[in-house]
């Protein structure tokens, strides 16, 4: 292995990791804060892709505007789901699991009824289809773009949760809901907003994935498994998910270079299972007192 | 482990039931079930495709085009005066459901034939049931071969008809060094075995072979390996959603379509539409049919289908055309069977036997004349190579000079040849129903 292929393996590892993290971030926030295992996360990603598709074809908006708007649209849908369904199911983890799974089926079928099951096409600006040749390594602009958006998402989430009053309230509710309530924090409102933000982040992920791959009613299912793995291996928190994604991305990229892609995936899954056997709480366990 | 009384009772009851109805457990016992025709009654056929789940993209189109073909046949007077009545089921992209629905179609709906499946995995899931009940499966797409049953008719290209002219053409046009990429399942692996033979004959050189999990959308490492190997062209058997990701990431990785095009067996009009024509342009596809083939029959087919209530997807790709042909093969074979045996004595097996040599003439078949092989019941067709244009349509750059015979055992000559009665091994033994 020469320096060029090692550099591109590391770059691809970062890129794969950022795709994982983009998919997992919304899930991590919802799980970390409200303890809800959101089975509909993949379908929220799918809705993000479809809203991007709709904004492009119906309103003719450029791709860059569609990304923040997907956040708003899917965030709003997430807010509605939380208000109507999840809000009455807190403290009943099994029921939320089933209910969100039901929501995922409803969303998938609903989209199929409205849009049909043929694949849709999200257009990206042509400069994102190019690449930057640095001699030893060749960087795809789209991959750089995904990493860039991922960085923005992480920074914005970090700022929101650790540098604002809202963030203090969220962390208070996460640590001890009753205690927080006795200090005048409206915990159900915090949950709704957090759920909406988590859904919105899934919407952004959908915008990116729709442009990268294919827009289909079933597209979410392929991302949700990886997203869950990142959140579980990371321990449910923000930092844990970042670490887990970065590490898994690098491992997968390295194995894919040395062996092949199928084998790499297999090894990554095995390693995660072994890791969780010895550290079931994940890399960095969060919100310990609630659970 | 102890044998409890209850267990013993259960086992002996099952045993008794199995003895009483031998056909449900004895291998090799065949029993045609229902599936006979009655004067004045519509002909029931099953449409066994996935309308939901991961396989819905190609298979929903197959259902739609079958309904279109059936409407067309019925409007022209049906088959021997009887209309065709399709029973549409949803196999939900689940191989268990495929096999359950097959049983349901045969036992409950008593269909005369089943049109269905897109993947080899689903075909292999339904064949045991179809063979046991001696029904008939029209498999309307390409597959790898290496099967010899008495209950299937295939209207798509076999592996030996699929890459034999594509690989020499690409070697001649772009150079001998090639990289194989495929989805990780049976069809790409078998197709690549064939491709290696053609590659050897064309004095090509295989630089690498990579398989990607079905449905995966991460092609980064594979594309880097391709970049490092720097082949003259890529031979791809990547299917479905992965295929779209592959083409997009190919361009995003900065690989050049002019010096390293992808030669695919599956990237047709529907895929290039979904990925965006700018990602598909310049790449190659081997198929017996392309939407913009210039002939009267095809013009009528494309216009008729797209303006019908089934044509909302806006394309007629090779898989749909092969499905359309299967309806006409069925019609021709059934007419022949009725003529030979009389309407009351027609069984699915007799329809299959009558299909030997059945022709679909150029005034019906959009790809031009095709006919069914008399021994292995696959299709004689003219393979073509198309290059994707800037608008996502395909321009035919090469056409085989004549019809190519289907040969399901082309890469396994040691196993024998497929005849109408089964697989004839080189030592003279005849094996029926090899799947």
pLDDT digits 0-9 by tens, A28-86: 999 888 888 899 999 999 999 999 999 999 999 999 999 999 999 999 999 999 999 98
**Closest-CA residue to B275 (of A61, A122, A56, A127):** A122
Model confidence band, residue A290 (pLDDT cutoffs 50, 70, 90): very low
pLDDT of residue B23: 45
Query: Residue B144 and residue B412: Cα distance in Å, rounded?
Result: 12
Please judge whether A119 and B224 are an interchain contact, meaning their C-beta atoms are less than 8 angstroms apart: no
pLDDT number for residue B21: 47
Of the candidates B57, B220, B225, the beta carbon closest to that of A118 is on B57
pLDDT of B33: 57
Q: Is residue A77 part of a domain?
A: yes
Long-range contacts of A60-66 (CB under 8 A, 24+ apart): A62/A125, A63/A122, A63/A123, A63/A124, A63/A125, A63/A128, A63/A207, A63/A211, A64/A125, A66/A207
- Look at residue B241 in the predicted model and tell me its pLDDT: 80
Look at residue B2 in the predicted model and tell me its pLDDT: 47
User: What was the pLDDT predicted at A41?
Assistant: 94
Give yes or no for a contact between B273 and A215, defined as CB atoms under 8 angstroms apart: no
Give the per-residue pLDDT at A35: 83
Task: Identify all chain B residues contacting A256, using CB atoms and an 8 Å cutoff.
Answer: 220-222
Name which of B269, A273, B314, A101 is nearest A265 in CA terms.
A273
Supply the pLDDT for residue A118.
Answer: 78
Alpha carbon separation from B113 to A64, A162, B23, B153 (Å, rounded): 51, 65, 21, 10
Does residue A82 form part of some domain? yes
CA gap A34, A130 in Å, rounded: 41
SS (H, E, C) B137-188: EEECCCECCCCECCCEEECCCEHHHHCCCHHHHHHHHHCCEEEEEEECCHHH
Distance CA A234, CA A247 (A): 10
CB pairs below 8 Å between A and B: how many? Answer: 118
Does the CB of B248 have a partner CB in chain A at under 8 Å?
Answer: yes
Spatial CA neighbour of B205 closest among B185, B237, B230? B230
Q: What is the pLDDT of residue A1?
A: 60
Please give, rounded to a whole number of angstroms, the shortest distance from the CA of B297 to a CA of chain A.
26
Residue A131 belongs to some domain of the structure: yes
Distance CA B162, CA B404 (A): 10
Q: Which of B62, B218, B280, B306 to mutate to test the interface with A (most CBs of A within 10 A)?
A: B218
3-state secondary structure of B239: coil
Residue A262 has pLDDT above 70, yes or no: yes
Which pLDDT score, from 0 to 100, does residue A106 have? Answer: 94
A291 by DSSP, 3-state: which?
Answer: coil
- Residue B424: CB atoms within 10 A of its CB come to 18
Task: Identify the three-state secondary structure at position B82.
Answer: strand
Name the residue facing B312 among A116, A123, A142 (closest C-beta). Answer: A116
A128, part of any domain: yes
- Set of chain B residues whose Cβ sits within 8 Å of the Cβ of A259: none
Residue A23 and residue B13: Cα distance in Å, rounded? 53
In a domain, residue A98? The reply is yes
The CA-CA-CA angle for residues B40, B111, B108, to 5°, reads 110
Overall domain count for chain A = 1
The single-letter DSSP state of residue B407 is -
Across chain A, mean pLDDT equals 89
Q: Which residues contact A266 (CB under 8 A, 6 or more apart)?
A: none
Q: Do B211 and A120 touch (CB under 8 A)?
A: no
Q: In the predicted model, is pLDDT for residue A4 greater than 80?
A: no
d(CA B359, CA A5): 55
Whether B203 contacts B171, CB under 8 Å: yes
Predicted local confidence at residue B30, as pLDDT: 53
Low-confidence ranges of chain B (pLDDT < 70): 1-35
Q: Tokens 């009940």 correspond to what residue?
A: B133
Residue position matching structure tokens 């303890």: A35
Cα-based distances in Å from B392 to A202, B280, B281, B308: 31, 7, 6, 22
Interface touch B61/A118, C-beta < 8 Å? yes
Q: Which residue of A has its CA nearest to B242?
A: A213
Map residue A131 onto helix, strand or coil: strand
pLDDT at A291: 41
Is residue A177 predicted with pLDDT exceeding 90? no
In order of start, what are the domains of chain B with their CATH numbers?
A: 43-157+294-381+407-431 (3.40.50.2300), 163-264 (3.40.50.2300)
CA-based nearest residue to A130, from B344, B250, B289:
B250
Return the pLDDT at B28. Answer: 46
Q: Is residue A243 part of a domain?
A: no
Helices (H), B235-347: 241-252, 269-275, 277-280, 296-307, 318-341
Of residues A19, A142, A214, nearest to B252 (C-beta)? A142
Q: Which domain holds residue A123?
A: 19-228
Beta-bridge mates of residue B44: B85
Cβ-defined contact of A257 to B221 (cutoff 8 Å): yes
Whole-angstrom CA distances from A7 to A150, B121, B310 are 20, 39, 50
Chain B residues whose beta carbon lies within 8 Å of the beta carbon of residue A9: 221, 224
State ipTM: 0.85
Residue of A68, A73, A87 lying closest to A30 (CA atoms): A87
CB-based contacts of A16: which residues, under 8 Å, 6+ apart?
A248, A249, A252, A253, B218, B220
Residues 6+ apart with CB under 8 A from B200: none
Two tokens at B80?
Answer: 């021997």
Find out whether A24 and A230 touch, Cβ atoms under 8 Å.
Answer: yes
Set of chain B residues whose Cβ sits within 8 Å of the Cβ of A264: 221
Q: Which two tokens stand for residue B17?
A: 């039931």
Could you give the CA distance from residue B299 to residue A228 in angstroms, rounded to a whole number? 49
**How many CB atoms lie under 10 A from the CB of residue B345?**
12
Q: Does B256 touch chain A (CB under 8 A)?
A: no
Which residue is associated with the tokens 């990229």? A253
- CA distances A200 to A4, A115, A168, A248, B323, Å, are 37, 21, 20, 24, 42
Q: Is residue A186 part of a domain?
A: yes
Question: Read out DSSP for B191-211?
Answer: HHHHHHHHHHHTT-EEEEEEE
Instruction: Please count the other Cβ atoms lying within 10 Å of the Cβ belonging to residue B111.
Output: 27
| d(CA A289, nearest CA chain B) in Å | 38
Nearest to A138 among B221, B254, B274 (CB): B254
Q: What pLDDT score does A176 carry? A: 86
Question: Residue B10, Cβ neighbours under 10 Å: how many?
Answer: 11
Cα–Cα distance for residue pair A78/A48, rounded to 1 Å = 11
């Amino acid at each position: 292995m020469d320096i060029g292929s090692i550099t591109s393996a590391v770059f691809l590892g970062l890129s794969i990791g950022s795709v994982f993290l983009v998919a997992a971030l919304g899930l991590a926030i919802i799980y970390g804060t409200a303890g809800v295992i959101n089975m509909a996360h993949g379908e929220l990603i799918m809705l993000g892709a479809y809203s991007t598709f709709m904004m492009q074809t119906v309103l003719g908006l450029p791709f860059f505007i569609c990304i923040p708007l997907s956040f708003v649209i899917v965030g709003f849908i997430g807010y509605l789901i939380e208000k109507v369904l999840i809000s009455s199911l807190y403290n009943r983890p099994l029921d939320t699991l089933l209910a969100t799974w039901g929501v995922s089926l409803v969303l998938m079928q609903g989209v199929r009824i409205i849009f049909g099951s043929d694949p849709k096409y999200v257009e990206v600006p042509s400069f994102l289809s190019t690449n930057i040749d640095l001699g030893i390594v060749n960087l795809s602009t789209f991959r750089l773009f995904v990493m860039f958006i991922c960085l923005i998402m992480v920074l914005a989430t970090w700022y929101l949760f650790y540098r604002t009053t809202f963030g203090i309230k969220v962390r208070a509710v996460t640590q001890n809901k009753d205690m927080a309530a006795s200090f005048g924090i409206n915990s159900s409102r915090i949950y709704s907003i957090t759920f909406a933000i988590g859904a919105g982040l899934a919407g952004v992920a959908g915008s990116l994935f729709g442009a990268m791959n294919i827009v289909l009613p079933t597209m979410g299912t392929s991302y949700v498994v990886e997203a869950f793995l990142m959140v579980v291996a990371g321990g449910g928190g923000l930092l844990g998910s970042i670490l887990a994604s970065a590490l898994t991305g690098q491992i997968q990229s390295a194995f894919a270079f040395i062996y092949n892609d199928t084998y790499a995936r297999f090894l990554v899954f095995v390693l995660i299972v072994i890791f969780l056997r010895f550290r079931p709480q994940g890399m960095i366990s969060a919100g310990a007192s609630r659970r | 482990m102890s044998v409890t009384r209850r267990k013993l009772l259960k086992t002996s009851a099952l045993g008794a039931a199995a003895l009483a109805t031998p056909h449900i457990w004895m291998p090799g016992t065949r029993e045609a079930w229902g599936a006979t025709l009655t004067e004045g009654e519509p002909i029931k056929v099953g449409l066994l495709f996935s309308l939901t789940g991961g396989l819905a993209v190609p298979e929903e189109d197959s259902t739609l085009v079958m309904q279109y073909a059936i409407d067309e046949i019925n409007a022209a007077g049906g088959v021997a005066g009887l209309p065709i009545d399709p029973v549409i089921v949803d196999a939900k992209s689940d191989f268990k459901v495929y096999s359950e629905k097959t049983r349901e179609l045969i036992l409950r709906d008593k269909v005369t034939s089943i049109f269905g499946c897109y993947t080899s995995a689903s075909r292999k899931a339904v064949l045991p049931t179809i063979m046991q009940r001696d029904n008939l499966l029209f498999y309307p797409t390409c597959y790898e071969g290496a099967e010899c049953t008495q209950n299937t008719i295939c209207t798509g290209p076999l592996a030996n008809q699929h890459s034999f002219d594509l690989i020499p053409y690409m070697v001649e046009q772009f150079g001998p060094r090639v990289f194989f990429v495929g989805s990780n399942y049976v069809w790409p692996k078998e197709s690549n075995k064939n491709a290696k033979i053609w590659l050897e004959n064309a004095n090509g050189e295989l630089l690498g072979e990579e398989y990607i999990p079905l449905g995966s959308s991460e092609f980064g490492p594979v594309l880097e390996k391709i970049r490092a190997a720097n082949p003259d062209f890529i031979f791809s058997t990547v299917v479905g959603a992965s295929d779209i990701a592959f083409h997009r990431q190919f361009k995003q990785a900065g690989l050049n379509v002019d010096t390293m095009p992808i030669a695919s067996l599956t990237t047709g009009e529907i895929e290039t539409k979904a990925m965006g024509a700018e990602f598909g342009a310049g790449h190659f596809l081997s198929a017996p049919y392309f939407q913009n083939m210039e002939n009267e029959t095809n013009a009528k087919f494309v216009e008729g289908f797209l303006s019908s209530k089934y044509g909302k997807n806006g394309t007629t790709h090779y898989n749909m055309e092969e499905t359309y042909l299967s309806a006409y093969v069925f019609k021709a074979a059934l007419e022949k069977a009725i003529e030979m045996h009389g309407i009351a004595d027609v069984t699915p097996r007799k329809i299959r036997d009558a299909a030997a040599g059945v022709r679909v003439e150029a005034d019906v078949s959009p790809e031009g004349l095709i006919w069914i092989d008399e021994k292995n019941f696959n299709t004689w067709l003219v393979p073509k190579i198309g290059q994707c244009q800037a608008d996502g349509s395909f321009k035919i750059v090469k056409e085989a000079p004549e019809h190519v015979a289907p040969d399901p055992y082309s890469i396994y000559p040691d196993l024998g040849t497929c005849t109408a009665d089964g697989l004839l091994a080189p030592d003279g033994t005849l094996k029926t129903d090899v799947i």
